[in-house]
Structure 1
Amino acid sequence: MTNRGFNTLKPGNNYSAQDLDSFVSTKDVLLLSNNGSQLFTEPDREYKVIHEFEGFFEHSSQEGEKYYREKKAYVVEKV
């Protein structure tokens, strides 16, 4: 998919690492990948969006509290 500038990722669709890089650079989102820190090392590698979440819980180690963050989160895996 070469459509740069899209507003959301759709579960079930494949995206290149380059598309994902462009997406997270322009949106306030969380991206989880099974490819560790190598997600953006191969721009043409394809990833499939497995899950989309409206938010997530985050633990603050400084305050010891858990907070719900209303922030889109996506889980992607290598194709």
Structure 2
Amino acid sequence: MAEYRLSDVEVGKNYKAKELDSFVSTTDVVVLSNNESQLFTEPEREYKVVDTFEGFFEHSSDDGEKYFRNKKTYIVEKV
């Protein structure tokens, strides 16, 4: 899968699931998809990167607090 290795993705561009799989495997990011857990089930399916954020808030079940996680986050949609 080395030929699909991406170091970055761009908003507005389409990528195959196998490319996003490689990106997620080699980069510390979060990817949110509109097709739930099926993002990587069809390697040739294309997804469009529709938005990106520098991080997100997460609720801790340990102490009930909300914490901002400074982790690049991408939203993708099936094409």
Return 5+ residue gaps in structure 1 as ranges.
Answer: none
Deviation at 1:8, TM superposition (A): 1.6
Which residue of structure 2 aligns with residue 28 of structure 1? 28
* Overall identity of the aligned pairs, in %: 65
Q: What is the CA–CA distance in structure 1 between the aligned matches of 2:5 and 2:22, rounded to whole Å?
A: 7
Superposed counterparts of 1:54-73, under 5 Å: 54-73=54-73
Q: What is the CA–CA distance in structure 1 between the aligned matches of 2:65 and 2:4, rounded to whole Å?
A: 37
Q: What is the CA–CA distance in structure 2 between the aligned matches of 1:73 and 1:41, rounded to whole Å?
A: 21
Return 5+ residue gaps in structure 2 as ranges.
Answer: none
Deviation above 4 Å: which 4+ runs of structure 1?
none
SS of aligned partner of 2:74: strand
Deviation at 1:36, TM superposition (A): 0.7
What RMSD over aligned residues (CA atoms) do the two structures have, in Å? 1.0
